[in-house]
Chains A and B, each alone.
Chain A
Amino acid sequence: MAMKNKERKKIIQAIPFMLPSIAGMVLFSLLPMLIAIALSFTGWSGLGKFSFSMVSKQFIGLENYQRLLSKGEFWTAVGHVLYFVVLYLPLSFFFSMLVALILNSGRKLSGLYRILYYIPVLTSWVAASLIWKWVLSSQYGVFNSILSIFGMQGPDWLTSKYWAMPGIVLASVWKDMGFYGLYIFGGLRTIDTGYYEAAQIDGAGKWVTLTRITIPLLSPTLFYCLIMSLINAFQIFPQVQIMTGGGPNGATQVPVERIYTYAFSYFKMGYAAAFSWLLFLIILALTLIQLKAQKAWVHYET
């Protein structure tokens, strides 16, 4: 009984803290998502005034989903984004970690680095994509020009179907490493120095300190970075739209690019909504796996 009262008290205490975000979620997230689910079962073009009766008249059941799963396009787009994720995640993790360690070293210049490394984060995706489109220009861009200093002949980046995606990965890593880097750095700074002192007294080596203290205490931060970059990477869009527009020859057509095109260029809103929900399921599945796997390595203070 006592336990139950305590739980009830906690819920009552939590309500005022949760209320704003719950209200916001319901109104600005759940409700639009519900409408989007409804749309995915219709053949609505997306053109014309929306009303529930109009949409229900165009109910076509699971047809959108069947067409998506039977056509190669969906899986091709998922394949492209997986290719992006496989290249992006390790690179992004490596460089973020590097940034965090440089900042955490406490040496000279780290204040300056904290500003320099963050500049890409402060750039909007529109600006960053435009910059990189220009940087990666095979003839007039600065990237290949640097490669040529080292005697290398740079590829045609965004106009080549083999190099367009790596080009987008480069831009994305450049854009994101400062954010995750600074966040991991924050995580490193909040680790109580007492742990390290205790380890030193016990005579623990660097490796033991890293695996027994740093990683476990940093794990909630790393877990956040992993989940966020996974969710975001599966939904890359502005860089693709501006840098390649899905080209060349569809080599960088990723799910959200397809969704946007079907919704706003081809006027197939129902189809685009179904596309979104299949993408949702894929991201959800991967996130659930991570949530389950976190018990093996993520350590929370209690």
Chain B
Amino acid sequence: MRRKRSGLLSNIIFYVISVALAVMVVIPFYWMIITSLKSKGALMALPIQWIPRHPTLQSYRKVFSLFPFGKAILNSLFVSITFTVITVLSSSMAAFAIAKIRFKGAGVFFRMYLMSMMIPTQITLIPLFIIMSRLNLTNTYTSVISPSIFSAFSIFLLVQNLRSLPDDFMEAARIDGASLWTTFFRVIMPMEKPVLATLVITTFMGAWNDYLWPLVMLSDKNKMTLTLALNTLNGQYGTEYNVLMAGCLISMIPIIVVYIIAQTQMKQGITAGGVKG
């Protein structure tokens, strides 16, 4: 009996805390959706309206009337997907070499990679642009995508993860006569699936939401990405929060879709990783 009651108590505590946290997280998001459905006048109504009295889609109409969305979404998808594939591949290769081959000098590179994160990108914007223009790459997708080949953040993430993975797997693969590449693609990558899923999501999101770099690089309107298009809203509709929130929501939908897809992958990945040893 005693045992059961303490189970009930801990259940109650668990749900109170987890629901409270979920509410905290969701409220700003809810507020964003609600605001986007309000008319301009209702924004300033006091007391504030938790549910819009006269919901309207006028801010969505406004956003959609401003940009050629179809093309921008395709451009964004192309850039973000390519960006993500390159980052994930290049970073996991580097992380594998640093954490599992453990060659002499791996630590040096690891530290250099870390150091590269400590300088604000705002100050390397012009130098990087100069390099791209000297390479004759301005106004190309190549210039937007190519920095993806080096992501210190991703390498660090994967190195830390690989380090908590026992070396037995490497050893077993070596005894089976597998080459390092086979070990990497067939053994390590599948085991890293959960963290790779996290990486895919954050990289995709970063590429999708980045706007200063594509803006500076791409002067051709036909190459404009979605976030770039939506960011013009911030300057134009400074306090028209309904329009701003509608734009924000539209920009998020593709990422949420990607997340939910990756989420199912992740579940499998985690169970697959769990049966090890």
- The reply to whether chain A is a binding partner of chain B is yes
Residues of A in contact with B (beta carbons under 8 Å apart): 7, 10-11, 13-14, 16-18, 20-25, 27-33, 35-36, 39, 46, 50, 95, 98-99, 102, 105, 107, 109, 113-127, 130-132, 134-135, 139-142, 145-146, 174, 178-179, 182-183, 186-187, 189-190, 192-194, 217, 220-221, 223-224, 227-228, 231, 235, 237, 242, 255-256, 259-260, 263-264, 269, 272-273, 275-277, 279-280, 283-284, 287, 291, 300-302
* B156 CB contacts on chain A under 8 angstroms: 224, 227-228
For the complex, what is the distance from the CA of A18 to the CA of B35, rounded to whole Å?
48
Q: Binding site of A, secondary structure by majority: helix, strand, loop or mixed? A: helix
Asked if residues B27 and A189 are in contact (CB atoms below 8 Å), the reply is no
Tell me what chain B mostly uses at the interface: helix, strand, loop, or mixed. helix
- 17 interchain pairs, CB-CB under 8 A: A14-B97, A21-B93, A21-B94, A24-B147, A28-B147, A124-B252, A126-B234, A127-B248, A127-B252, A131-B245, A140-B44, A186-B198, A189-B274, A220-B160, A224-B157, A237-B122, A301-B165
- Tell me the minimal C-beta distance from B277 to chain A in angstroms: 5
Q: Are A119 and B29 in contact (CB under 8 A)?
A: yes
Given contacts A21-B94, A127-B32, A183-B157, 11 further A-B contacts (CB under 8 A): A14-B97, A28-B128, A35-B127, A36-B127, A114-B263, A122-B256, A124-B252, A135-B27, A189-B274, A220-B163, A301-B163
* Contact (Cβ within 8 A) A221 B97: no
For residues 161 through 184 of chain B, which have their beta carbon under 8 Å from a beta carbon of chain A? 161, 163-167, 180, 184
Contact of B28 among A27, A28, A131, A189 (CB under 8 A): A131
Which residues of chain A are within 8 angstroms of B29 by Cβ–Cβ distance? 119-120, 123, 131
Is the CB–CB distance between A14 and B165 below 8 Å? Answer: no
Q: How far is the CA of A228 from the CA of B152 in the complex (A)?
A: 11
Q: Which of B27, B97, B105, B245 contacts A130 (CB 8 A)?
A: B245
Q: Which residues of B contact A273 (CB under 8 A)?
A: 123
Which residue of A is nearest B180, CB measured?
Answer: A13
Q: Which of A217, A223, A256 contacts B160 (CB 8 A)?
A: A223
CB distance from B228 to the nearest CB of A (A): 11
Residues of B with C-beta under 8 A to A20: 89-90, 93-94, 149-150
- Residue B83 at the chain A interface, CB threshold 8 Å: no
Q: Which 3 A-B pairs have the closest CB atoms?
A: A24-B150, A124-B209, A24-B149
Residues of B near A116 (CB, < 8 A) are 22, 25-26
Chain B proximity of A125: nearest CB distance (Å): 7
* B63, CB-defined interface residue at 8 Å: no
Q: Which of B54-62, B71-79, B106-114, B217-225 contacts A (4 or more CB under 8 A)?
A: B106-114
Contacting residues, chain B, for A113 (C-beta < 8 A): 18, 22
- Say whether B93 contacts A190, CB under 8 Å: no
Q: Of A114, A130, A187, A217, which is in contact with the most chain B CB atoms at under 10 Å from its CB?
A: A130
